[in-house]
């Protein structure tokens, strides 16, 4: 009986002590897990000047649906893309139709509906040297590469098109080219 009283007294005592000051945080175990360490605009913690503004770990993959393209914009890069890159999407009517839609928006003004280089901007002589696709040695790899990096007077179209959309356009450009070669 006596020990029970002692236990009760301790419990009551502990609860009174722990409620002593409501405005202050109570005892916390591992406070780092409750209170995050604030960083200032320069990425420096207020405590201890530890810089935290670090680059993502090498190989980090964005979760934003963006797929990195690490083949550089050089002649070697162009050749590498031509030799190694393959279209990862299936050759379906649906992809081809989407490719046509996007091509009409982003490419036909220069390259023409048929890919013969006779788009409006070419007719009005705004851009020179727009090729007929049949005169270039193209495959899915170098077409994708040129969409990503552009080539001479042609600018990059990487920001206008998402990953899958680019490959849909590639598929459509290849189909135009094979028509032109007939």
Contacts with ligand HEC, residue ranges (CB under 6 A): 106-107, 109-111, 121, 127, 129-131, 136, 138, 142-143, 146-147, 151-154, 157, 169, 173
What CA–CA distance (Å, rounded) separates 64 from 24?
41
What CA–CA distance (Å, rounded) separates 17 from 12?
9
Closest to ligand HEC by CB, 113 vs 136, is 136
Provide, rounded to whole angstroms, the least separation between the CB of residue 178 and ligand HEC.
13
Q: Measuring CA to CA, how many Å separate 44 from each of 31, 52, 53, 54?
A: 20, 6, 7, 11
Provide, rounded to whole angstroms, the least separation between the CB of residue 90 and ligand HEC.
19
What CA–CA distance (Å, rounded) separates 115 from 24?
72
Q: What b/e sequence results for 86-110 when a residue is b if at least 16 CB atoms lie within 10 Å of its CB, and e otherwise?
A: ebebeeeeebeebbbebbeebbbbb
What CA–CA distance (Å, rounded) separates 178 from 182?
6
Closest to ligand HEC by CB, 28 vs 156, is 156
Closest to ligand HEC by CB, 59 vs 129, is 129
Provide, rounded to whole angstroms, the least separation between the CB of residue 153 and ligand HEC.
4
Provide, rounded to whole angstroms, the least separation between the CB of residue 181 and ligand HEC.
14
What CA–CA distance (Å, rounded) separates 151 from 36?
48
Provide, rounded to whole angstroms, the least separation between the CB of residue 89 and ligand HEC.
15
């Amino acid at each position: 009986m006596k020990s029970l009283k002692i236990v009760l007294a301790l419990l009551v005592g502990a609860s009174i002590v722990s409620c002593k000051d409501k405005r202050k945080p109570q005892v916390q175990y591992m406070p780092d897990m409750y209170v995050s360490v604030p960083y200032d605009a320069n990425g420096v913690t207020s405590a201890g000047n530890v810089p935290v503004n670090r680059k993502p770990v090498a190989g980090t993959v964005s979760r934003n649906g963006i797929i990195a393209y690490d083949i550089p914009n050089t002649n070697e890069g162009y050749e590498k893309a031509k030799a190694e890159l393959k279209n990862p999407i299936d050759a379906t009517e649906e992809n081809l139709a989407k490719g046509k839609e996007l091509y009409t928006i982003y490419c036909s003004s220069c390259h023409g509906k048929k890919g013969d280089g006779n788009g409006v901007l070419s007719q009005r002589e705004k851009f020179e040297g727009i090729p007929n696709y049949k005169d270039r040695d193209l495959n899915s790899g170098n077409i994708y590469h040129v969409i990503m990096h552009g080539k001479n007077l042609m600018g990059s179209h990487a920001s206008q098109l998402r990953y899958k959309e680019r490959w849909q356009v590639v598929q459509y450009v290849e189909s135009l080219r094979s028509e032109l070669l007939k």
